[in-house]
Chain A
Amino acid sequence: MAKRTEKRKYHGAPTALVIGGGIAGMQASLDIADKGFRVILVESEPTIGGHMAQLDKTFPTLDCSSCILTPKMVEVGNHPNIELLTYSEVIDIQEKAGGFRTTIRKKPRYIDVKKCNACNLCAEACVQRERIPNEFDMGIGKRSAAYIPFPQAVPQKYVIDPNHCLMLTRGKCGKEPKCQKACGANAIDFTQQEETITVRVGAIVVATGYDQFDSELKPEFGYGRYENVLSGIEFERLCSASGPTQGKIQINGKEPKRVVFVQCVGSRDKTVGNEYCSRVCCMYTAKQAHLVRERIPDAKITVCYMDIRAFGKGYEEFYERVQRENIHFRRGNPSEIYERGLSLVVRGEDTLLGEPYEEEADLVVLATGLVPRKGAGNIGKLLGLSQTPDGFFQEARTEETIATSRAGIFLAGCCQGPKDIPDTVAQASGAASLACVQLAKGRS
């Protein structure tokens, strides 16, 4: 069957392309769209929201992350000037007379989005139900092959996972696919094909974000070997009321009483090739330590660190507060973590006391750093962007973090380097400013 291709032209309002639908891409899109320009927002996942949607609370005010994020997601989804292309990726970009001709591939959802009313019956009927690790919950929870990434997803549309759906992998699912039978809206369509959309845009905002550092690259910490050694985002899901444990901090149904946090995992560490600081881990660890104290008041909590980098507004004050909550900050990162009986043992040198320590733990949380998103290199090649030695996209100059070496292409958020939410939002608005300068030029 021939793939559907479509060429779109927008008459009147100039258009910007935003690549990435995390908080950076969302903020940039909203600012551009609010000024009356058109935006095409391309997101590779089936929903916008990015990593921020996975977080439980935000530092230092302890605002619930999804409570402040989801209204913004809805605003993006409803904005008359934003065309949302989720589950899509940019596959080609050509520079054309003061703008770019971009080609976007829209992956098939196998769900007719016009009909789907997000009733969840397909997910309940799916034979793969509760069998596929749920990426949104970092694999801690399970999902069906027909699923919605999380309840507040935008768009509110299900998607069928082509790697796990039996119909799509084997061409057969029992006598007939149960999801299709269950769907009252008749929205399931296994004949859907990939679509290609070509569109001309006047400016591009790159907001491809970050990935969490892979903790298995630090084998001495036993991540992947011990089930009670978790990464930063895994712990966020464990804390989240909408997460797989409904916010109960439990490992195999047991509440940990001794919790150790290890900072700078994959950051400031030449042995894994990441010399840079990831800028957020000190503070998210302080927040997570606070959440443990709040939910397990009698827990023994230790944070192992090199330097505490509480540099943002209200951060030092928050760090102070957490220290007063009987959380022990120990200077000196562990050298190894191993199992002794039923406990983990965290071993290191306390550089303030000048002596080695061994600390028993029921749960170890690794403050995993931020690395450039997988696939960012490909986008970089398409756009002709170079990378700094840390692998993040290269900005025009040190103090100009938004512009790139290419006119009309701008950076927003963690694709340029690790940063926390307010710094990301500020930079995203900045990218919108420069993109609109470009679009306004084209208009006059």
Chain B
Amino acid sequence: MKIGVYICHCGINIADHVDVEAVRCFAENHPHVAIARDYTYLCSDPGQDLIINDIEKYQLNRIVVAACSPTMHEGTFRKTISKPGLNPYFLEIANIREQCSWVHADRARATEKAKDLVLSAIAKAVLLEPLEETEVPVTQSSLVIGGGIAGLQSALDIADSGFKAFLVEKDPSIGGHMAQLNKTYPNMEIVDDLIVQKMRRAEENPNIELLTYAEIVAVDGFVGNFSVTVRKKPRYVDPSKCTNCGECEEICPIRVPNEFNMGLDHRPAIYLPFSQAIPSSYVIDPNTCQYLAKGECGRCIEACPSAAIDFTQEEEERTVEVGSIVVATGFEPFDAGLKPEFGYSRYERVITGLELERLLSPLGPTGGNFPTHWGEPESIVFIQCVGSRDKTVGNEYCSRVCCMYTAKQAGLLKERFPRARITVCYIDIRAFGKGYEEFYEKVQKAGVIYRKGIPSEIYKRGEKLIVKAEDSLLGEVYEEEADLVVLATGLIPSREADKVRDLFKLNRSPDHFFMEAHPKLRPLDTAIEGVYLSGTCQGPKDITDTVTHAHGTASRATIPLFKGKVMIEPITASIDAEICSGCGLCEGVCEYQALKKDDYRGHMTVNAALCKGCGACHSVCPVKAITVKQFKPKQVIVQVEMMA
């Protein structure tokens, strides 16, 4: 064995607290060590050249680098030693910075510890085995789950980069919650113009295949090579024939609350989700259609002039092969009924923010006007943070959009009813985006009154609603008469997200939104390679931040597609088939679904592409049939012994 040992000063980072010369002398005397050197910065080019030259000159076959954490430079030095032809895995790092010089003040004892760390690394280096990375080709397409603004934007970027994108949407139309909104803040643009334009672009893009009214039922594979099964629900209407004439809608005898309008009006069992829906086709609601339930009715079949209605349609399943997956399952509004003190659903004129959006929309159930029997309101109260920043309902987080959508709605109503007294009850105003503070100022100047303090209850006195609260700035309790109360309901993860989480085994943060790989530097990735998060499924955000996020996710999701291949790290679990009894305990602890039983042979197998080499399986295996390469028991134990 000819080992080269290299001790880095890291400038003064190591050298100030560890006597590197003493460590070098110590290493040099080891029987397996052919050469030991110290250097100011081993990661610098001259430092790396030093190692390369030595490998050639002394015919070194193992390298020990005593320096910073392997997370910093293990990759660097693997590349270095492979240049003169050494297997890159013949490298062992002794971390004498983070685990030694940075945490110890006593130079003599730190030096002793550094010696132990180096000795232990040498001992392991002797036992290192050559490993090879494997290269796997990538299917150059992507799957996007969710057809709201986040999913649409990610799919558009993927498609514009030249790759095929499958866009799966659970509802009959793409568009998501954004399609329900009236105007954007702070520029008061008409939302329809923005979202419909994106929906059309997605529909027309030859690289995007829309799979609406569909859901994911199974996922298999790994980064670069996912195989996803999508179940398409029957629409019972042939979109290629449907002309949106509306004859069917008129004749249908059923009326149920219209989800798109937040239940503020009714729709038939055969319906167009909203006027600009894409695909632009009617759909039959299987839960309420009488023909599907009892075989009675069928009037729509006769009414349809283009024979588009087809009750024989059945569920279809298809499997798509993709290289990466974007999760964009979005949010749903907090259920205001969970705050009974505000009387939502008890009082007609206590409504949610999203309901007000529909009432204000010219395409909404009331053509953009308040119901006539409401008359002209004299007083309107907005209540912020309903379902947000509220531990009593289990949501400690801020929903990030309610302050601003309330400011927008309050501003719009002030314009419409200049004489009305409009009050916003708040905790803190979070106007943090570009132009938001300026907008908040403008709304205040327009005469909207901001009162600090969230109301404790709402009740009725005569025809009027009474909002009871404490003004925490004045330090006094007040009662405000109101003709309309708008609850700024927060955002919670979409129910659909549960299914997706189960299929992918995605992690969640304590707020129940999907957890990103790192809260600071990897906000778009997940712990699963090849699966990325886009938009509000990762946490509440406004349209602007969602679109930005979605562009970013597309970048992450196209990296493997552009590369065309993925490298599989060789440090993975491996199974000794002779010993393994196939008990399956390891499968239960594996976070990455890398272990499966080979039923024919009766033992477990490892999917190297999914395995991260974490070693959880090894620790539970009762017969120790699983080992992790480069961390085999003998390799680890010898290290421990040297430290003792």
Contacts and interface: CB of A to CB of B under 8 A. Distances in A.
A74 B551 CA distance: 25
- What 8 A-B pairs have minimum CB-CB distances, sorted nearest first? A430-B551, A429-B552, A433-B555, A35-B562, A307-B428, A430-B552, A422-B523, A313-B539
* Most B CB within 10 A of own CB, among A119, A277, A389, A400: A277
A74 B432 CA distance: 33
Chain B interface helix/strand/loop/mixed: loop
Contacts of B398: 310-311, 315-316
The interface centre, meaning the residue of A156, A315, A320 with most chain B CB atoms within 10 A of its CB, is: A156
B559 A398 contact: no
B428 A422 contact: no
B184 A31 contact: no
Q: How large is the interface on B (under 10, 10 to 19, 20 to 34, 35 or more residues)?
A: 35 or more
A426 B563 contact: no
Interface stretch (A91-99, A196-204, A226-234, A347-355): A347-355
A74 B538 contact: no
Contact of A309 (B45, B430, B522, B551): B430
Given A311-B400, A390-B434, 11 more contacts: A78-B76, A279-B433, A307-B429, A314-B397, A352-B472, A426-B523, A427-B551, A430-B552, A432-B552, A433-B161, A440-B162
A53 B552 CA distance: 23
A71 B32 CA distance: 31
A440 B39 CA distance: 43
A307 B41 CA distance: 47
B430 A313 contact: no
Per DSSP, chain A at the interface is loop
B457 interface: no
Contacts of B437: 268, 275-277
Interface stretch (B53-61, B249-257, B298-306, B513-521): B513-521
Given A277-B437, A313-B397, A313-B519, A74 B43 contact: yes
Interface in B542-566: 543-545, 547-556, 558-559, 562-563
Contact of A426 (B430, B441, B548): B548
Contacts of B434: 276, 388, 390, 392, 395, 398, 401, 416-417
Given A151-B13, A354-B475, A440-B162, A309 B538 contact: no
A425 B472 CA distance: 38
A371 interface: no
B543 A71 contact: no
A429 B559 CA distance: 11
Contacts of A402: 548, 551
Contacts of A308: 428
A160 B512 CA distance: 52
Interface of B: 10-13, 39-41, 43-47, 71-73, 75-76, 79, 102, 157, 160-162, 184, 186-187, 189, 194, 389, 396-398, 400, 428-438, 441, 452, 472-475, 509-511, 513, 516, 518-524, 538-539, 543-545, 547-556, 558-559, 562-563
Nearest to A69: B521
Interface string A59-93: 01101000011111011001000000000000000
A316 B547 contact: no
A162 interface: no
Central interface residue in B72, B161, B521, B555, by most chain A CB within 10 Å: B555
Given A118-B40, A313-B397, A425 B523 contact: yes
A31 B532 CA distance: 14
B541 to A, nearest CB: 9
8 contacts: A307-B428, A309-B428, A310-B398, A316-B397, A354-B474, A422-B521, A425-B521, A426-B552
Contacts of B436: 276-277
Nearest to A279: B432
A139 interface: no
A169 B441 CA distance: 51
Contacts of B44: 117-118, 156
Nearest to A36: B562
Interface string A400-444: 111000000000000011000111011111111110110010001
